[in-house]
Chain A
Amino acid sequence: MGSALLSGVAHAEVGYAEKEELKFGFIKLTDMAPLAIAYEKGYFEDEGLYVTLEAQANWKVLLDRVIDGQLDGAHMLAGQPLGATIGYGTKAHIVTAFSMDLNGNGITVSNDVWDEMKKNIPNGSDGNPVHPISASALKPVIDGYKAQGKPFKMGMVFPVSTHNYELRYWLAAGGIHPGYYAPARGDTSGQINADALLSVTPPPQMPATMEAGTISGYCVGEPWNQQAVFKGIGVPVITDYEIWKNNPEKVFGVSSDWAEEYPNTHIRVVKAMIRAAKWLDENNNANRPEAVKILSRSQYVGADYDVIANSMTGTFEYEKGDKRDIPDFNVFFRHHATYPYYSDAIWYLTQMRRWGQISEPKSDEWFMKIAKDVYRPDIYAQAAQSLLEDGVMSADEFPDFDKEDGFKPPQSDFIDGVMYDGKHPNDYLKRFKIGLKGDDQV
């Protein structure tokens, strides 16, 4: 179907933008980079678009503003368009035709917790702890809290955030129950049966909240893990690259009404962002230092250059001084990072089901239908086609659109080794020890 759609439009030139003045929202995180670069490098202007970028207070405000039209589009958590479309939280049909990046998050714990955890982690020949660190090293710490009657609290950025699912994935893989949601019963705290209580904190406030002792750890995007290292208040124990290699992260979301009303504008926006993503990864990340300089401006991420540079230039500092190479910590274009794969959407939906945000059992067809409602590779393909015609990209930089069905091959690069095949979401859920599956309900 995708290819039939594509061949119909393959040679039609993209018309002028219906709406030239646009306002996009973002959260102060390094993975908003494609927006900043598309703006600063004039890619939006090349498409005849006059874009204003505006930092938003938190993910909820950002989503609400896209829904009520104050923002034309926004840097979103991949779970947000899906959650909104199925009506978890605010119900609204949001679509995405552009995936903003892969990886880019980490899980950080406070110094006290780290001191306890360290006792359960073997050291390598270099004297540093052996990575990746499993949550099973955290389990005795949590048991200790329990014995003292204290709750163990951690922060994540939004109920349908990648961070929530990654943190839960990591905890569950280490035998720690992160708790269920039961929206049908009105329980949206996600703490039913929980060993670790997870709650929402906006990304930039994570370090301060942990420093204040409200939470003992968190899962967040950059630069807020490296910030904890620089401030000396916590230690990142694992990156999401080690939880799930090359996991999809943020997407660029617009409301479906907006997409219908301004189809050319939408394609042009995606074109500009594809170019920006390519620029970010070009020549083996050669442009990254410049990107970091741009991101450290106060209107974008605004943190200090050194803090942002750590992860953006392919390294990650765990415990102070323990700096390791993770060249793919932030991927913006390689590995077809910008293409909106249905299988990525379905993974998020499986996690919503796993933790009870989707309280009823759903068929595999249902997962597919929602993925197709929200992820729009057709729009992406038109943008890519237009870029090929403009001569700024080459066909080998994109998936083969004629053959692409939107599913990545089954992957097992997860910390627990469980294999994920997007075509069989219900079978996938059955492979987990902790989590809802089949007809389970909370």
Chain B
Amino acid sequence: MASLKDKISAFSVKGILLPVFGILVFILLWQVGASRVHTSLGEFPGPVVVYEQWNSLVAEHQNERVKADKFYVRQEERIAERQAKDPSYAGIIRDYTGKPTFFDQIFTSLYTVLAGFGLASLIAIPVGILIGLNRSVYSALNPVIQVFKPVSPLAWLPLVTMVVSASYVSDDPMFSKSFLTSMFTVTLCCMWPTLINTAVGVAAVEKDLLNVSKVLRLGWVTHVMKIVIPSAIPLMFTGLRLSLGIAWMVLIAAEMLAQNPGLGKFVWDEFQNGSSNSLGRIMVAVLMIGFIGYLLDRVMLAFQRFASWDKTQVLR
């Protein structure tokens, strides 16, 4: 009994009390620090202001939903009116044209980052396996990888924007250009860790396993599926987690620079507004960006736990 009690108290100290303590100290330092920074838009926002701004963003979101509902009602009336005059008119219900709220922007950013990251993984994993298995291909591709790896999203963005504008021309586009430019920029910047880690993981398969494969005379495909990939998985996931982290950071920067919809645009718009609420709202966005980045990493970690054969490995 006593040991169980100890365990519970030890757990609550480590698992709950310490994190809560950490957060409280942080908030305290933040409040004290913030009140000492005076900008031309007023005081740097402290936790209280941020909380207020969060509430106002929620309220704005709800108002916008009400407006959207009214918008659709008006639109239906208008279509009915026109159909009465002109029966051949097939009314199309247009999407709501009001402003995207903070929460709409979060959704847009998530959607874009996952698309960009997905595309990056689709390219990086096969290429990583290929160059990990074959030294010649590795030697051929390595210089290119090394040169492109450190390129900043800010450098890619103008090129991607111009290429997308020039090559993606359609009267009824399935994706908006802004989505594609954000997505491709994310892809270009975030594929490298997955690619390199996959290659290293594949190249580092244990000799014993390779010998087993040789003894059993496994075909190339079976060899890759049964021996190479499973042993490369831990490193591959390390790469994927790094990639997703980069993807999220790059996306926000790209959205800010290109004014593409998403959290980055939200931050930039608020900065341009220069209202007394702006800094508080930017701070809400900063916390939200951090929190979502953290959640994304946790999700990848869960996948890694699920996919990894070595359940004893310490993952954090």
Contacts and interface: CB of A to CB of B under 8 A. Distances in A.
Interface stretch (A47-55, A77-85, A99-107): A47-55
B40 A55 contact: no
Contact of A231 (B40, B94, B99): B40
The 7 A-B residue pairs whose C-beta atoms are closest, nearest first, are A302-B273, A299-B99, A204-B272, A50-B94, A231-B40, A52-B97, A57-B259
Interface residues of B, number: 30
Interface string A289-321: 000000011110111100100000000000000
Contacts of B86: 16
A296 B273 CA distance: 9
A260 B267 CA distance: 37
A208 interface: yes
Interface string A25-48: 000100000000001001001001
A172 B245 CA distance: 54
B97 A303 contact: no
Most buried by B among A296, A302, A303: A302
A63 to B, nearest CB: 14
B226 interface: no
A207 interface: yes
A302 B268 contact: no
Contact of B97 (A51, A56, A302, A304): A51
Contacts of A20: 92, 94
A312 to B, nearest CB: 15
Contact of B274 (A48, A50, A70, A227): A227
A180 B95 CA distance: 48
Given A21-B97, A28-B272, 18 more contacts: A16-B86, A16-B89, A45-B78, A48-B82, A50-B97, A55-B269, A56-B259, A61-B259, A70-B178, A208-B40, A227-B274, A298-B270, A298-B277, A302-B273, A302-B275, A302-B278, A304-B275, A304-B276
A48 B272 contact: no
B223 interface: no
A37 to B, nearest CB: 15
Contacts of B269: 55, 298-299, 302
A396 B269 CA distance: 40
A68 interface: yes
B178 to A, nearest CB: 7
Nearest to A233: B40
B165 interface: yes
Contacts of A304: 275-276
B274 A207 contact: yes
A39 B99 CA distance: 11
11 contacts: A28-B273, A45-B74, A50-B94, A50-B97, A211-B40, A298-B270, A299-B269, A302-B269, A302-B273, A302-B278, A303-B275
Contacts of B97: 21, 39, 50-53
Interface of A: 16, 20-21, 28, 39, 42, 45, 48, 50-53, 55-57, 61, 68, 70, 204-205, 207-208, 211, 227, 231, 233, 296-299, 301-304, 307
Given A21-B94, A50-B97, A52-B97, A302 B82 contact: no
A296 B275 contact: yes
Contacts of A56: 259
A39 B273 CA distance: 20
B305 interface: no
Contacts of A48: 78, 82
Contacts of A296: 275
Nearest to B165: A68
B164 to A, nearest CB: 10
Contacts of B95: 21, 50
Interface in B33-61: 40-41, 60
B177 interface: yes
Given A70-B178, A299-B99, A207 B275 contact: no
Nearest to A55: B269
A204 B278 CA distance: 13
B276 to A, nearest CB: 5
A207 B268 contact: no
Contacts of A301: 273
Contacts of B275: 296, 298, 302-304, 307
Residue among B40, B82, B269, B274 with the most chain A CB within 10 A? B274
Q: Which of A16, A28, A55, A207 has the most chain B CB atoms closer than 10 A to its own CB? A: A55
Nearest to B100: A299
B272 A207 contact: no
Contacts of B270: 298, 302
Contacts of B94: 20-21, 50
A67 to B, nearest CB: 10
Nearest to A25: B259
A297 to B, nearest CB: 8
A57 B259 CA distance: 6
Interface string B250-294: 000000000100000000111111111110010000000000000
Contacts of A21: 94-95, 97
Nearest to B64: A299
A16 B75 CA distance: 15
A3 B75 CA distance: 37
B211 to A, nearest CB: 58
Contacts of A307: 275
Given A55-B269, A302-B274, A207 B78 contact: no
Most chain A CB atoms below 10 A, which of B74, B95, B269, B273: B273
Contacts of A205: 272
A303 B40 CA distance: 13
Contacts of A52: 97
Contacts of B178: 70
Nearest to A70: B177
Contacts of A299: 99, 269
A56 to B, nearest CB: 6
A53 B268 CA distance: 16
Most buried by A among B99, B275, B281: B275
Interface in B148-170: 165
Contacts of B60: 298
B82 to A, nearest CB: 7
Interface string B66-99: 0000000011001000100010010010110101
A298 B273 contact: yes
A70 B99 CA distance: 17
A61 B178 CA distance: 13
A394 to B, nearest CB: 26
